[in-house]
Amino acid sequence: MIQALYIFKSMSKNLLYNKSFQSDEKLEMFDSFFSALQTFVSELTDSSTESLNTIELGEYFVLITRIPEILSDLVIITHKEDIKEVQKLISKINEIILKYQDLFIDSDLKPERFEMFDLKIIQLILSDKKLVAGSTLTTDQSTILKSIWEQKGALSEQLREDLIKQREECQVQYLTEENFIEKYRIAKKLIEISEKLRDDEKFIEYQTEAKSLKDEIKDRRLRLHYYFNKVKESIRYSKYAETYSYLYSFCIKLENFAETRVIDKYKNLAKGLLNRNKLPKYEFKKILNEISTIEIKINEDLSFDFLLKLE
């Protein structure tokens, strides 16, 4: 089975094209693993020549073919059992690439042409049923990671000690951090350090932790938007009892996302709605104005720009 296909610029190692034959769910779940793999294969192209290069990676092979017409390298990852089939296919893939070589030279082309190229590659791969069924890279993460690291050479003792110290400090931060966004950032740092330490167990462990946190953050973001939209709708129709309920639910969903002072500020606004009959009109109007600006302020408090990158 073909696992992935890449086209890298030979000199800069910039990724020009990437087609992974994994499910979207696996690509997201094991994003750190695929990122490490992509970085590794881009580095392999340094040693490629005009002829086909083959590098063993556990139960898989990495096939690298130089395409001088576009000053790039075609990289295919496939299972050992399928290498002969893939080698036969490479010339056909090259034909498609050369037919669309303007894609890799001219950056101002229309997206429709890239979509045509992408479709041609997919159709070619899918035309050989032997290459679209079988095991996947994710089932052999540990073996593949070890194979990658073995080819990079040993770490110096000083570097290993420094990395272990960094990881221990991050682990303490990770265990004590309650904010999910910060915890996610620390998890990504732990993945990075574990990769440098060639520690496959910790790499996979923190990759799983990061995926869980990422899912929770995305889910919580949706819920926050839902409750805030309900807050705006209920205020529009002066249904202040409903506004209180939705705003209080909004505050609960802020737990592990925002600082206590931020949550308390919004809870006080909710209490103001509950006690509206005891407040002067000008003070109640001020509360409504503050609630109406929550969307702007919460974007700053929760770094929604960061959350959008998780989509």
Q: For residue 7, give the CATH number of its domain.
A: 3.30.450.60
Kindly state the helix (H) or strand (E) to which residue 17 belongs, with its residue range. Answer: strand 15-20
Separation CA 147–CA 113 (nearest Å): 37
202 falls within a domain: yes
310 falls within a domain: no
146 falls within a domain: no
- Verify that 170 and 109 share a domain, yes or no: no
> What is the predicted pLDDT for the residue at 190?
96
Model confidence at 308, pLDDT cuts 50, 70, 90, reads very low
Separation CA 257–CA 252 (nearest Å): 10
* Domain termination residue (choose one: 141, 168, 185): 141
Q: Please say whether the beta carbons of 233 and 290 come within 8 A.
A: no
98 falls within a domain: yes
pLDDT 10s digits, 152-178: 778 889 999 999 999 999 999 999 999
pLDDT 10s digits, 264-292: 989 999 999 888 888 898 899 899 988 88
- Verify that 131 and 46 share a domain, yes or no: yes
> What is the predicted pLDDT for the residue at 212?
92
> What is the predicted pLDDT for the residue at 267?
92
33 falls within a domain: yes
* Mean per-residue pLDDT of the chain: 83
- Verify that 172 and 297 share a domain, yes or no: no
Domain that holds residue 258: 220-303
- Verify that 88 and 14 share a domain, yes or no: yes
- Verify that 89 and 121 share a domain, yes or no: yes
Which residues touch 80 (CB under 8 Å, ≥6 apart)? 59, 60, 61
Domain count, the chain: 3
Separation CA 235–CA 292 (nearest Å): 9
Q: Is the per-residue pLDDT at 34 higher than 70? A: no
76 falls within a domain: yes
The alpha carbons of the chain give a radius of gyration, in whole angstroms, of: 26
Find the mean pLDDT for residues 85-103.
Answer: 90
- Verify that 164 and 292 share a domain, yes or no: no
* Domain termination residue (choose one: 194, 215, 236): 215
- Verify that 105 and 59 share a domain, yes or no: yes
- Verify that 38 and 129 share a domain, yes or no: yes
Q: Give the up-direction half-sphere exposure of residue 162: CA atoms within 13 A in the CB hemisphere.
A: 6
148 falls within a domain: no
- Verify that 192 and 225 share a domain, yes or no: no
- Verify that 183 and 237 share a domain, yes or no: no
- Verify that 287 and 187 share a domain, yes or no: no
pTM for the model stands at: 0.68
* Domain termination residue (choose one: 108, 141, 174): 141
- Verify that 210 and 287 share a domain, yes or no: no
149 falls within a domain: no
3-state secondary structure at position 76 = strand
Name the DSSP class of 134.
Answer: S
